[in-house]
Amino acid sequence: MLTSFHTVATVCLAWLSVFVQTAAPSLQPWVGTQPDFLPALMVHTALRTSVWNVVLLGLLGGFMLDSVSGNPVGVSCLPLGLVGWLLHGRRDFILREQTFAQFILGFGAGAAVPFLTGVLLLSLGRQPLVGWNSVVPWTVLALSSGLATPLMFRLFRQVERWFAFRKPEPGTFRPDREIRRGRQ
């Protein structure tokens, strides 16, 4: 189901997500972190589009996020892409249209991406600030992603209604109708 519309919309929303995360008024003084919406976008992308969009979002989203953070460039690509790849491989078994399932998947992705990024940083020999005081920011990241995931699904559904190509509806006549011509 790869369409250019989904690809362009995914890249634009990834850019907008990173922009909002860096330019919006900061929640950092209160909770110690900014909300991250890329895992929520990855859940939507993995469940509704092709694997190529998952790879594209993992690479571009990870590079964009690393370019404005203190992480080495490319470190966020692998955790984001891994979460998307795992969800995409099992999307036929997931209740992707239910709001509660979307929240749980977004919460899990929002918790897994920072955790895997921290593990990757530790394995690269970096010393991220990890301790008991990291639990609140990690929870905020997971909750913000969980709350944003159903909103991503609704946003994409609305944008598809506005801009995506719709198949023509069937006409008023049935296709199996017999048309008699001439004298009767």
Instruction: Answer yes or no: is 64 within a domain.
Output: yes
Instruction: Answer yes or no: is 55 within a domain.
Output: yes
Instruction: Answer yes or no: is 175 within a domain.
Output: no
- The pLDDT of residue 32: 67
Give the predicted TM-score (pTM) of the model.
0.83
Instruction: Answer yes or no: is 184 within a domain.
Output: no
Number of domains the chain contains: 1
Write the CA distances from 162 to 17, 82, 170, integer angstroms. 21, 31, 20
Instruction: Answer yes or no: is 22 within a domain.
Output: no
Q: Please, are residues 111 and 141 in contact by the beta-carbon 8 Å criterion? A: yes
**Distance between CA 135 and CA 90 in Å, rounded?**
29
Instruction: Answer yes or no: is 182 within a domain.
Output: no
Contacts of 22 (CB under 8 A, 6+ apart): 34, 68
**Distance between CA 136 and CA 21 in Å, rounded?**
18
User: Is the alpha carbon torsion for 47, 48, 53, 56 positive or negative?
Assistant: negative
**Distance between CA 26 and CA 163 in Å, rounded?**
32
Structural domain harbouring 55: 33-162
Instruction: Answer yes or no: is 86 within a domain.
Output: yes
Instruction: Answer yes or no: is 130 within a domain.
Output: yes
Tens-digit pLDDT string for the chain (184 aa): 447 778 888 899 899 888 888 877 666 666 667 788 899 999 999 999 889 999 999 999 999 988 988 888 889 999 999 999 999 998 888 888 899 999 999 999 999 999 999 889 888 888 777 777 778 888 888 999 999 999 999 988 888 888 767 777 777 766 676 767 777 6
Any idea which residue has 């921290």 for tokens?
118
**Distance between CA 74 and CA 63 in Å, rounded?**
5
